Amino acid sequence: MLKSLLICLFVSLIVSSPSFAMAKEGCGGVCSSCHSLTEKEATELLKKTGVTVASVKHSPARGLFELLVEKEGQKGILLLDYGKKHLIQGMVVDLEKLEPVSSHEQKATQPKQKTSADVTTIPAQHAVVMGNPKGAKKLYVFTDPDCPYCRKGHVELQKLAKIAPDVAIHIMLFPLPMHPAAYDKSRTVLETKDLDLLDKAFEGKDIPKPTKESSKKAIDEIVKFATANGISGTPTMVMPDGTIQVGMRDAETMKKMLEGK
């Protein structure tokens, strides 16, 4: 399952790149001879995200720059096409080994994607719980209020809460560096753990600013856990048995997964 997902992600990243679409005969030399980008230029391009670009290298996949970015003390990898028009969050995978590859292997702090996690180490005390808080089955969803895929997935989680009364859905707010406003939104929701406020955040509505320092610590603990367990994108689910599932499913499918079907 994971290998299939990695292959699909790799192919979609490369085929969707404008540089891939424009590749033509004669462009087979050293990429750096035609395409260049400095850390200062990259930081300016990404200023809306609030990140600082510490290093720029050519990705192992042709047509992409690999950026080592920093924000709030966290480091991560982003990809930018040679046309400097599209930012990509994800990983590049070696098709032969089916393993993530990076030009910043020694500097990136994000470990390779794991297939499972110890659920007892998840900082669940910082979760916002949807569904039945006392449910026998616990689903952990690492999600970002400004991630478009997470917003669609949130609707499915609302449906799941209605059709699976024995499930406690733990929302682990995990704001990504590429969504600069998501950090404060996540803090605000955690300060109240109000489900209506949670829904508003995922609907893209304005919510109050955070006021408590404790919420910053809580979000940082979630980010620390995610980073340590190779969770670098949203949405990502951790099943009751600890299995990590990248992405989200529709409500009916998630219900069957939780039932072991």
Whole-prediction pTM value? 0.65
Task: Please determine, for residue 138, whether its predicted confidence score (pLDDT) is greater than 70.
Answer: yes
User: Token pair 């230029």 is at which residue?
Assistant: 41
Angle at CA of residue 117, ends 112 and 6, nearest 5°: 40
- CA 167 vs CA 119, 128, 170, 235, 245: distances in Å: 15, 13, 9, 18, 17
Interval 199-228 mean pLDDT: 95
Which residues on adjacent β-strands are paired with residue 128?
171
Q: 156 Cβ partners below 8 Å, 6+ apart?
A: 248, 249, 250, 251, 254
Interval 96-123 mean pLDDT: 75
Q: Is 56 exposed, middle or buried (0-12, 13-18, 19+ CB in 10 A)?
A: buried
Q: 21 Cβ partners below 8 Å, 6+ apart?
A: 15
The token pair at 79 is 């990809």
Q: What is the pLDDT of residue 195?
A: 97
Q: What is the pLDDT of residue 187?
A: 97
User: Token pair 């026998």 is at which residue?
Assistant: 136
pLDDT (tens digit, 9 = 90+) per residue, 145-187?
A: 999 899 999 999 999 999 999 999 999 999 988 788 999 999 9
Pairwise CA distance, residues 223 & 226, whole Å: 5
Q: What is the pLDDT of residue 8?
A: 43
Angle at CA of residue 126, ends 124 and 127, nearest 5°: 65
Three-state DSSP at 171 gives strand
Question: E strands of the chain, at which residues?
Answer: 52-58, 64-71, 74-81, 87-88, 92-94, 99-101, 128-131, 137-143, 167-173, 236-238, 244-246
Answer positive or negative: Cα dihedral of 121, 6, 138, 199.
positive
Pairwise CA distance, residues 175 & 1, whole Å: 26
Q: Is 191 exposed, middle or buried (0-12, 13-18, 19+ CB in 10 A)?
A: middle
The token pair at 160 is 């799941």
Domains of the chain: 2-15+31-101 (3.10.450.70), 119-258 (3.40.30.10)
Three-state DSSP at 71 gives strand
pLDDT (tens digit, 9 = 90+) per residue, 37-70?
A: 999 999 999 888 888 999 999 998 889 999 998 8
Write out the H or E segment, with its range, that includes residue 96: none
